[in-house]
Structure 1
Amino acid sequence: MDNTVTWFEVATDDPDGAERFYGGMFGWNFTRDGGEVMDYRLIGHPGADQPAGGIFNTGGKFPAHAIFHVGVADVDAACAKAEELGGKVVTKVIDDGAGTDFAYLQDLAGSLFGVFHRRS
């Protein structure tokens, strides 16, 4: 559903450590889903039918963060709208190679959040 928080992400250069921490803390389970393009791990929780988030291995290329993502109809348009409203585009649109475009933005206070669109 567009314009709804539908995903969260924990980004780290230590995804194995994040799995141990969050798995131990909340009982979450993890499934690798990045293919050869990226090290991405889906996060599931007890009683859920589908994953609710992911762990993204930054490889040291992005700062560690935990953020929410909003599904949108058009990532480029969402980036333009954020700038129009005084926000900032932190990363331009990224194609994950698996059918999803995403970007990281900042609101007026500098808080990081993501927008994404699944093409398939």
Structure 2
Amino acid sequence: MTTEATGTPDGPPAGFREGVPCWVDAQLPDVAAGRRFYGELFGWTFDETEGPEAGRYVQAYGEGRPVAALAPKRDGRMPTVWTVYLATADARATAARIKDAGGQLVTEPVRVGPAGTMALAADPEGAVFGLWQGDEHPGFGKQREPDSYCWTEVYSRDKALVDPFYEDVFGFDALEIEEAGVPFRIWSPAGTEAGPETAVGGRSLVTGEFAAEMPGHFLVYFSVTDCDATVAATRRLGGRVRVEPLDTPFGRMAVLADDQRAVFAVLEEPVQGSVEDPSQG
């Protein structure tokens, strides 16, 4: 991994506040196919030094800046999925809070060379997310710009169980709103006033539109300049459309799956004045 930013011992990874999404990766059966799909869809390039095409962890870049990574599935029983990582100053301390709050550790904190320390966790309903304590690799070099990460939300069935979990573990300030008739909760970093201008993630509900067996899960969004064109490109590249393009108060969005069935969303944000990035410390 190639970024040179350095974390600090008494704060979150450089540039990212506690609990803020700072990285995403996709676990895929075929990393080489993933490179072709996302390379064409988003214009990403990939770090050739991370290993052979057969598939070690491969970092993706947008305009030369780190945006995501693709990783090979080590076990065919593992889901093909995009995972979001939340920034932490101390992965072991956060892991302990996760357990105390009713969550579980899928992977205990482990050092990833000089890049940082990672862990995988699950909330009380089983939605999986990562922790990242950055060192030489603090996280996104590009985000909230076209063809890069812009948002995440967790889908749950029991908000009374899930909401306190994330707010206790990460200290989020929260605001309950309604989106298309569904109660939706947005989270802002601790110490900020919760609202659309400061939100870094949210919680939606698994409603009757989902399959009965659908578990709690995270959905990762990427910003695009043209939602409909991205949907058309996804189909052309062998992917699928889970939710057709629709207009929301936050922009035009769609839910897609790549040609290996990893699900993600895209958002074409309305043109507006610039706002302060709440992820930055």
Do they superpose with TM above 0.5? yes
TM-score for the superposition, normalised by structure 2: 0.38
- How far off is 1:52 after superposition? 0.9
> Does the CA contact (< 8 Å) of 1:13 and 1:60 recur in 2?
no
Percent identical residues? 25
Which ranges in structure 2 are unaligned for 5 or more consecutive residues? 1-144, 272-281
Look up the match of 2:68.
none
Aligned positions of 1:1-120 closer than 5 A? 1-34=145-178, 37-46=181-190, 50-62=198-210, 63=214, 64-96=216-248, 98-119=249-270
* Residues 27 and 99 of structure 1, relative CA distance in 2, 3 Å threshold: closer
For the structure 1 residues 21 and 73, does the alpha-carbon distance in structure 2 shift closer, same or farther, using more than 3 Å as the test? same
Bigger drift between 7-16 and 47-56 goes to 47-56
Query: What secondary structure is seen at the aligned counterpart in 1 of 2:244?
Result: coil
String of CA shifts for 1:1-26, please: whole Å, max 9, x gaps: 21110101111232332211211222
TM superposition shift of 1:44: 1.4
SS of residue paired to 2:264: strand
- CA offsets per residue over residues 67-113 of structure 1, 9 Å max, x none? 210111111111111111111111101223x2522111111221111
Q: Letter of the 1:61 partner, please give it.
A: E
Residues 1:6 and 1:101: Cα distance change in structure 2 (over 3 Å): same
Give the distance between the partners of 2:153 and 2:188, measured in 1 at CA: 12
Where does structure 1 differ by over 4 angstroms across 4 or more consecutive aligned residues? Answer: none
Q: Distance in 2 between matches of 1:59 and 1:83?
A: 26
CA positional deviation for 1:54 = 1.3
- Encode CA deviations 1:11-45: one digit per residue, 9 max, x unaligned: 12323322112112222222123356432211112
Give me the TM-score of the superposition, normalised by structure 1: 0.82
Equivalent pairs, count: 119
